[in-house]
Structure 1
Amino acid sequence: MTNNDVLRRIRYAFDLRDTKLVKIFANAGLMVDLEQVKRWLKKDDDEQMLELADVELASFLNGFIIEKRGPRSDGKKVEAETTLTKNLILMKLKIALSLQTDDIVGMLAKTGFSIGQSELTAFFRKPDHKNYRHCKAQFLRNFIQAIQEQYRPSTTQTRKVNNKVDTFNKPNATKSNQESTVKSYAKPRSKKTGAKTLYVNPNASKPETKLRVRKVLKLKPEDIYKQ
């Protein structure tokens, strides 16, 4: 895992613009221009790609700490290391994000990578300590991946929903696409079962309706009192 990989992954995890990267470098006292940043971010097989030196990545990480936590209370600036190990990269990211060892263990567990606190603590010890452990590229890669999922999560379901919304709101979207999108979001109607439909022949003549006359029985007074 190269220094350029670390810079590219941190940039993506926190959605940092190129101008923001220039500012972060400046936080640590290293003045760079946009052209340098763009060349550092290019792919390894690109002829325009410029390798990022240890001292330059150390300056970026020091500036990243200032960006996240502010300058030191004593006003002093940390000198960038000319030789940068993966243990130092791990330490600087831990400081920048104010992470505890149990935080890191939990973040890694979400990505399917398990590690004990004692093993993790060994990465942060001084190189001359008997329990010091060298950090390998695989662990650093998993740690930065865990950072990405923690600070810039992206799920398949979210991408699907965003694609549907973009299709509906797109100016050049066809009417059929918009109608299909609306139908997919519409609430399905409940169907009534057991209902019978009466067929009516449209060509059939209407039956004549006869007026009903109410018959009233009329009685004469003499018929009422007739014995």
Structure 2
Amino acid sequence: MITNDVLRSIRYMLDLSDAKVIEITQLSNPDAGLDKATVAAFLKKDGEPGFEPCDDATLAHFLEGLVFHRRGKDESRPVRPVESRVSNNLVLKKLRVAFELKDEDMHAIFEQAGFPVAKPELSALFRQRDHKNYRACGDQLLRNFLKGLTLRVRPS
């Protein structure tokens, strides 16, 4: 999925302002160098004047910052390096951690979006890439998860 779409979906889901997106990103990377104009460019639709693609590093810092924002930051633990390549599986993992979702919650979210997922299929999404049962998360699956999570977090 396009990183801008993920950022746009999460921003809508949590009803975040541009300033809050910057603040959350800076929780993971204080030197992010984001400003309101850049965030506004990231949030524009593809093809709109002023649209800028969101790079993987920015989205990775935003997702890591979202975990810190929702769950708190443990200063006693060493800072983990952010991933250089953001995959759909990584987005799912970060959202699962940020929203403290269990398997039952994940299944309920997919059901709410009208896209049921079997237990083995869901567990395969969270395996290591080199595991024999690993499954890459497709765009449709991530899109439906974001839709279901939005319905859960923002029911109106």
Aligned partner (choices 80, 83, 86) of residue 82 of structure 2: 80
* Contact map agreement 2:126 2:134 (CA 8 A) in 1: yes
Secondary structure, aligned partner of 1:39: helix
Aligned partner (choices 65, 89, 92) of residue 90 of structure 1: 92
> 1:122 is matched by which residue type in structure 2?
A
% identity of equivalent residues: 38
- Higher helix content, 1 or 2: 2
Task: Give 1:15 deviation, angstroms.
Answer: 0.4
Give the alignment of 1:1-80 within 5 angstroms: 1-29=1-29, 30-80=32-82
* Contact map agreement 2:113 2:145 (CA 8 A) in 1: no
Give CA-to-partner distance per residue, 1:156-211, whole Å, 9 cap, x none.
xxxxxxxxxxxxxxxxxxxxxxxxxxxxxxxxxxxxxxxxxxxxxxxxxxxxxxxx
CA distance in 2, matches of 1:130, 1:75: 31
Report the counterpart of residue 105 of structure 2 in structure 1. Answer: 103
CA distance in 1, matches of 2:65, 2:2: 19
**How many corresponding residue pairs?**
154
| Structure of larger gyration radius | 1
CA distance in 1, matches of 2:104, 2:75: 27
* Contact map agreement 1:28 1:63 (CA 8 A) in 2: yes
CA distance in 2, matches of 1:25, 1:75: 19
Task: Give 1:111 deviation, angstroms.
Answer: 2.0
Secondary structure, aligned partner of 2:122: helix
CA distance in 2, matches of 1:73, 1:131: 35
> 1:8 is matched by which residue type in structure 2?
R
Task: Give 1:36 deviation, angstroms.
Answer: 0.8
CA distance in 2, matches of 1:82, 1:140: 19
> 1:91 is matched by which residue type in structure 2?
K
Task: Give 1:128 deviation, angstroms.
Answer: 0.6
Secondary structure, aligned partner of 1:38: helix
Task: Give 1:73 deviation, angstroms.
Answer: 4.9
Task: Give 1:98 deviation, angstroms.
Answer: 0.4
Report the counterpart of residue 184 of structure 1 in structure 2. Answer: none
Superposition RMSD in Å:
1.1
CA distance in 2, matches of 1:57, 1:111: 24
Task: Give 1:42 deviation, angstroms.
Answer: 0.8
Report the counterpart of residue 123 of structure 2 in structure 1. Answer: 121
Task: Give 1:3 deviation, angstroms.
Answer: 0.2
Task: Give 1:74 deviation, angstroms.
Answer: 2.1
Task: Give 1:22 deviation, angstroms.
Answer: 0.7
Distance 1:117 1:73, change over 3 A: farther
CA distance in 2, matches of 1:16, 1:73: 25
Report the counterpart of residue 151 of structure 1 in structure 2. Answer: 153
* Runs of 4+ in structure 1 over 3 Å off: none
CA distance in 2, matches of 1:142, 1:55: 24
Report the counterpart of residue 131 of structure 1 in structure 2. Answer: 133
The TM-score normalised by the length of structure 2 is 0.95
